[in-house]
A and B are shown apart, each in its own frame.
Chain A
Amino acid sequence: MKQQRGFTAVAGCLWAAVAFSMIFGAALIEAPARAITILDAEPVSLADGREVYEHICQGCHMPDGGGAIGAGHYPALAKNRNLASRQFMALTLLMGRRNMPAFGAKHAIAQIGRPAVLTDVQIAAVINYVRMHFGNHYTDAITAAEVAALDPAAAPGVDSH
């Protein structure tokens, strides 16, 4: 299982990213001797799938899992047959899909340079939550170990699709 990643980061970078535009190639630098926290986080529970959903996923997929339609659409998770594959969901969360950013650590760093991502435990928890809510009833839960095993090697700049 991966180490929980926090919002602790060594300075500049993050604020640079926060502040301006354009960080779009990001590189992982070796861990320094000491980290300084310069970014506070909205609190999210570590392993509660529902909390992860309500803090992150519902921003696009909506509180009722219904998705949304504008010039394009966000797919509904309610009664979505793609959810039959827990592996599909895990890969989507790990690597992102189209405009949805990656949440797996290696992919998120390579893709958008973001330091804060979901752990395998959280990814498994939210998958299991979604697959048992919003009218879904898939009883084959996924484990964090299975998420980790599914995670493809992410060379720097792995593609998101």
Chain B
Amino acid sequence: MIGLSAGSTAMYQAMYSLGLAAETSFQEPIRLGEAPRGASVLVLGAGMAGLVAAYELRNAGYQVQVLEYNERAGGRNWTLRGGDRYTELGGETQECRFDPGLYINPGPWRLPYHHRGMLSYCKRLGVALEPFVQINHNAYLHNSNAFGGKPQRLRAVKADYHGHIAELLAKATQGHALDADVNAGDREVLLDSLRWWGALDKDYKFSKGAQSSERRGFDRHPGGGLSARPVPSEPVGVSDVLNSGLWAALPLGELYDMQTTMFQPVGGMGQVGQAFARELGPLIRYNAKVVEIHQDARGVSAIFEDRNAGTGRQTAQADWCICTIPLSILGQIPMNVGTPMTEAIAAVPYSTGLKVGLQFKRRFWEQDEEIYGGITYTSLPIGQISYPSSHFFAQGKGVLLGAYIWDMLNSESFSSMTPAQRVAKAVEYGGQIHPQYAREFDNGIAVAWHRVPFAMGCFGIWSDATRDRHYDNLCAFDGRIVLAGEHASYMPAWQEGAVTSALDAIGRLHQRALAAGAST
């Protein structure tokens, strides 16, 4: 077996290098200024970057045409609902059989409160937003190699981890081990803060009792009347907490990109793409597969095939081109740009991320386990289970995200399965966390991003070295062509990266168009 081999001690720490906690560069209002008379722009791709570019350029007075491979706008901004059909590379078609109102977002699914660009367009286009529950203390952390594979409530893991750390620190403080760094006056404050932060008792111990149970939960919760007396729960020992590895998941909701409040569009992320599509109307030409891009001193032309008509090749032309086609695909399209951009396009591998949506006959996670939204993280190949953030307490069926696989080998393994096998695996693994799965499962749909015909990958993966060498070349104008998209941002995978890269690109395009207009 690959994996699970003993003795592998390499540790890889994913570093949050450049850009992870970067503030969005979005600023309102967008004031591009007036387009030179008759200036035209060809936008390739109607994903978030292309839509934003087209919308703002049109508003500024440019003649805009958008070519889109799919028969819908949005690109990876996409929602699958009951009745939708999706055909992946390889030819397998899945029909989504979710009940009315239920959906899965195969791509982006949440909006941080500080992704102001995305939120701004939602507001401007009338896309209603609701809270996305990222952090749920009653969801699980699960490691099949810890606690006998029994899932642990996040609140218990958090309480125990913090409690034990606080107790150890208090012990060190009281034992004067920290005197070199903490003066006598500060020591008492530190001890007070540790007791409060870690829920320690009066002796600075993390012990079974009211304090710890107020964090980790009681065995019998306080109530009223004669049956009211609470029974505290037993904290897990420090060694078990540490060796469970579950503490690894605790900071997730504290990362800047995941901090509460997060939002989601009511009815699915795809509402954003659809709203742009309504706004842009006939400016978007659908089912257009771009097969060649050519520029010369006068303009840019894109040769494309109509996927439905089969009437041979057609050409779209404009003064300028904003190309948002994912690099996974763009690298295969002949385009006369220089070596720096060509090398940059070829330098970015794409994530193999994968999602599985599962419909169940009832919302057992709410009814049986009091889990309302949020995410369970697991060591199992499915990675996560996310519970719906809307329609709490609804009767009838419910859909949850049954797998969201980031680990590349596991997602590659899942991508190598048929869609039905992926769904079956997600049910099998998830059943180790929720035994109700076997009985309540209804149907599912699986989207493996390397098999998505219009993306061939989930998002572009940059390293520090590839950024240093290629990023500026990727984003710089080459003649009349400029690229935009999440791949041309320091916020990979986030839609905000696509939005801000598009705005940056059109700003530079406008300056060039003005300069060109003035010279002719």
- Mark A residues whose CB is within 8 Å of B: 3-32, 34-46, 54-60, 62-63, 68-74, 96, 98-102, 109-118, 122, 155-161
Chain B residue numbers with a CB within 8 Å of A122 are 2
With A70-B89, A101-B349 in contact, is A55–B8 under 8 Å at CB? Answer: no
State whether A19 and B14 are in contact (beta carbons under 8 Å apart), knowing that A70-B456, A99-B348, A99-B456 are contacts in the complex: no
Q: Choose from B1, B144, B375, B383 the contact partner of A43 (Cβ within 8 Å).
A: B1
Contact B245 A59 (CB under 8 A): no
B289 / chain A contacts, CB cutoff of 8 Å: 71
Inter-chain CA distance A11–B415, complex, in Å, is 25
Chain-A contact segment, one of B94-102, B199-207, B271-279, B486-494: B486-494
Mask, B234-273, CB within 8 Å of A = 1, is: 0000000001110111011001011000000000000000
Is the C-beta of B424 less than 8 angstroms from some C-beta in chain A? no
| A contact patch SS | loop
Q: Which residue of A lies closest to B343 (CB)?
A: A161
Interface residues of B (CB under 8 A from A): 1-20, 69, 89-91, 143-145, 243-245, 247-249, 251-252, 255, 257-258, 289-290, 325, 327-329, 331-333, 343, 346-352, 375, 377, 379-381, 383-384, 405-410, 412-416, 448, 450-457, 459, 461-470, 491-494
Q: Which residue of B lies closest to A54 (CB)?
A: B416
Asked whether A13 lies within 8 Å of B11 as measured between CB atoms, the reply is yes
Contact B248 A16 (CB under 8 A): yes
Q: Is the CB of A112 within 8 A of B11?
A: no
State whether A59 touches B494 (Cβ < 8 A).
no
Q: Which residues of A contact B332 (CB under 8 A)?
A: 72-73, 98
User: Can you spell out 5 A-B residue pairs with CB atoms less than 8 angstroms apart?
Assistant: A7-B407, A22-B20, A28-B10, A59-B451, A96-B349
Contact between chains at B248 and A98 (CB < 8 Å) = no
A148 to nearest B CB, angstroms? Answer: 17
The docked-state distance in angstroms from the alpha carbon of A69 to that of B467 is 29
Q: How far does the alpha carbon of A62 sit from the alpha carbon of B416 in the complex, in Å? A: 8
What 3 A-B pairs have minimum CB-CB distances, sorted nearest first? A157-B465, A70-B453, A25-B17
Q: Are A112 and B461 in contact (CB under 8 A)?
A: yes
| Minimal Cβ-Cβ distance residue in A for B91 | A68
- Do A74 and B252 touch (CB < 8 A)? no
Which residues from A are CB-within-8-Å of B381? Answer: 40-42
Q: In the assembled complex, how far is the CB of residue A23 from the closest CB belonging to chain B, in whole angstroms?
A: 4
Alpha-carbon distance A30/B384, docked complex (angstroms) = 28
Q: How far is the CA of A92 from the CA of B450 in the complex (A)?
A: 17
Alpha-carbon distance between A100 and B348 when the two chains are bound, in angstroms: 9
Write the nearest CB–CB distance from A75 to chain B, whole angstroms.
10
